[in-house]
Structures are given as C-alpha cells and as structure tokens.
Amino acid sequence: MTTSLGDLGAALVQWRRDLHARPEPGFCEFRTASSLVDELERFGYEVVYGVDAMDPGAAHLVPEERVAAWHRHAQERGVPAERLERMSGGATAVVAELRCGSGPTVAFRFDIDALPLQEADESSHKPAREGYASRNPGWMHACGHDGHMAIGLGVAATLAACSDDLGGTVRFLFQPAEEGALGGAAAIAARGFVDDVDYLLCCHLGLEARETGHVVCRTDFMATSKYRATFAGRGAHVVNSPQDGRNALLAAAAAALALHAIAPTSEGWFSLNVGVLNAGTEQGVTPASATIDLGFWTETSAAQEYLRDRVHSVIEGTARVWGVGFDIRLIGEAPSCMQSENLAAVLRRVAARLPAVTRIDDYALCRAGEDATVLIKRVADHGGQGVYTLVGSALADGHHSPRFDFDEGALSIGVDLLAGAARELLRVGNGE
C-alpha cells in the first residue's frame, strides 16, 4: 500500500477517533485488536494475534468474568468468530512483522487498553462535541492509548511504503492491559517476541511533555508492584458469641494503617497506597472475609525489594495478631530499568530534523509505573537496546481525567519521529 503523507494525516485522525469511540478494558480489547489486525494485514504485514502473540498464563491477573462479558460484547458487534476464538481467555495482543532483507530487528511497542471512566459529555469536550466520544459506558481512552495505536498504524504504513530502502526487520507489538501492569508486557515477552530485538522503541503522548512539538528522548519510570491480600476470619453473632468470631475487617483495616506507616528507606523514594478495602456482610456478624488491593511505586529496584519484604511482613503479622488466615497475591508488576543512551541520541537527531518539533529534552523522570519497562529490560538482558520516548501534546486535562484529550496534531509528529528512527537504524549499509 502506498500512502501519501497527506492521506496519512487524515488516516491518523480517522484511526484515532474510531478507536477512541470503542474503548475496552485490559485483556478485553477484542474489537480493538481485530481492527488493528485488519489494518496491519492491509499494509502487507505478517500478523499474529491471540494466543500466538501472548501467553495468558504469564500475565499476573486476567479478570475472567470481565473478559467473558467483553468477548460477548465484541461478538454482538460483529467481530468475526474465528478472530474471537483465537483471542479467547483475553489473549488480545497483536504482533506484526515486516522483513526487509538482512539487518537488525527494530521493534515498537504500543499499548491498547482503556480506563474505567465515564467520558465527559459536555460540549467543551471535543470528542463529545464532534461525535467520537466513547460508546462503551464506563470506559474511556483517557491516557492517549488510542493515539498510541494510531501512531503505531501510521509508522507501520510509513515503513511498509519505504520497505525497499530498509535492511532488517520491523516488528510491532500492540500490548493489552498496560494500566495496572496486569502482565500484558510479560505475556508478550513470554512468547519470545523481544528476545531477538536489537532496538525497541516505546512511546507515550503527553505525560511530562505537555506541549505539541515537545519531544523527550528518554523517560524513566518508577518500579511498581501491586498486590491483593485476602484475610479469612470466622463469622459469629456479635452479641451472643463474639468470642467465636475472627474479625477479617479489622485485620484488613489494621493492615491498611500499618502499610501506610512503613518507614521510608534510604534506598530511594517510594509511595504506597491501599486503594481498595472490601469486607463483611452485615452489621450483626463478625466480618469473616476482607480483601485489600495495594500498590507501591519506587525509584529503585532496591526500594522495590525493601517494600516487597515489608508488605509481606505487615500482612502476615497483622493476620497473626487478629487470628485470621491470609493470602497475598501479586497482581501487577513492572521494574525500573536502564535505557539506551544511544537510541535516545538517534531520536534526538531525528527530532532535530522535524520542522514540527520545537523543543527537545534528553531526559525526564515520570512518577508512574509503565510496564514497557518489562520489555525494555528483557531486550537489554538479551544484549539489545530499548528506549521510552515522550511525544509532546497539549492536553485538555490531565491523564486519567474524564475530560482528558490530546492534540491530534501530535500524531504525525509521533509517526515522523519513530519511523525516522527506524529508517536510520535500518538504513541499508548502516554499520551500527
């Protein structure tokens, strides 16, 4: 397929709006993945998806009931049965490849999931005003992943159109379930798709780059771990036989307080939050069960290790004090990792040549987790290089807000930047 640049600008907006209107949760991106497969096959890529593209067993948490409901939702909206069959169980990753002779392998990673938010419907919100707001109540692309997918398709189309000039392989990883670090990246890595990658490029719109035309070549993220702890007590009549009860609610509440009181560490900054506490059935019965979900974000792997240890001790110790059973389960994780200065320098060179780029920063630190680090670390462990870059965009409101919206003008900058970097890395005769 040949796409003139003018056509591509319109296609980017069209892809973005189509995907924006149909947001799906992590590991439930059935319709999203199916439309990515359609486009990538149309560009001439070899595409694998579903269980061929990821190992659901390697994910930390696949929310099974939700997956089944969204599977039906996609079926009702006409996603072909054969596609859904291969994605069953929440295997919604898509991997596309184009081999252009011998040379290095350049991979790109884009996230595809949405957030549990009801999108604003006021006329000041552009997607609502222009008719492409979410059609899936309670879910919204409020972090720009719709834009990331559009950029990914744009880079794929651009590189397919100039494949004769490239020496090597390009591979696109469209990853489910970035939010919550539920294991979408780990599930793709488990199929070996990054083990032979020489260069891995990842990107995000906005974040620390909140003007269109601003590029940050390299961005570090916090390491993060997320746990679900359950406490198992014993129900009893609170007046007749209170001594027989074992109060799981109080155990969970005491654990929540103790978790928030974990001492700081000289190993690095961290933030911990108990974000969910569910317990009990009614006021006359000792609460027999309780669940808490907690997450922490740390500056260093050493601080992550410290917190893992302290969190386990607090849960176990509190359970013992209250005489209840406990279980602690990892439901999300991403490391912090070193990124390639060399790739950051390539991006800087490419960005400097783009007329639409008005500001280039070498580095930013983002105080959030991002499981692209799972893939970047795996690439580095196998001798390759990875980098995470920010494509700046003016934002209508902050990330994860019902009024979040980015500037669609940033999409073509993202495409020019990433496709330009790939062309540089895969230039025939490139001695790197």
The residue ranges that bind Zn ion (CB under 5 A) are 143
Q: How far is the CB of 402 from Zn ion (least distance, A)?
A: 15
Q: Which is nearer to Zn ion, 33 or 114 (CB)?
A: 114
Q: Which is nearer to Zn ion, 112 or 311 (CB)?
A: 112
Q: Which residue is nearest to Zn ion (CB)?
A: 143
Q: Which is nearer to Zn ion, 143 or 217 (CB)?
A: 143
Question: Strand pairing of 199-205 and 385-391?
Answer: parallel
Q: How far is the CB of 179 from Zn ion (least distance, A)?
A: 7
Q: Which is nearer to Zn ion, 143 or 379 (CB)?
A: 143
Q: Residues with Cβ < 8 Å from 284, sequence gap 6 or more?
A: 237, 238, 239
Q: Which is nearer to Zn ion, 83 or 148 (CB)?
A: 148
Q: Which is nearer to Zn ion, 143 or 256 (CB)?
A: 143
Q: How far is the CB of 205 from Zn ion (least distance, A)?
A: 8
Fill in the amino acid letter for 157: A
Alpha helices by DSSP H, listed for 261-381, are 301-322, 341-352, 372-381
Q: How far is the CB of 145 from Zn ion (least distance, A)?
A: 6
Q: Which is nearer to Zn ion, 143 or 153 (CB)?
A: 143
Distance CA 318, CA 231 (A): 10
Helix H or strand E segment including 220: strand 214-221
Distance CA 398, CA 383 (A): 36
Answer for the pair 330, 316: CB distance below 8 angstroms, yes or no: no
CA-angle at 389, arms to 383 and 394, nearest 5° = 170
Distance CA 161, CA 170 (A): 13
Instruction: Output the CA–CA distances (angstroms, integers) from residue 187 to 55, 193, 266, 298, in the order listed.
Output: 5, 10, 33, 23
Token duo for residue 381: 């462990």
Distance CA 426, CA 432 (A): 9
Say which residue the tokens 């601080």 belong to: 303
Q: How far is the CB of 110 from Zn ion (least distance, A)?
A: 11
Q: How far is the CB of 298 from Zn ion (least distance, A)?
A: 19
Q: How far is the CB of 390 from Zn ion (least distance, A)?
A: 11
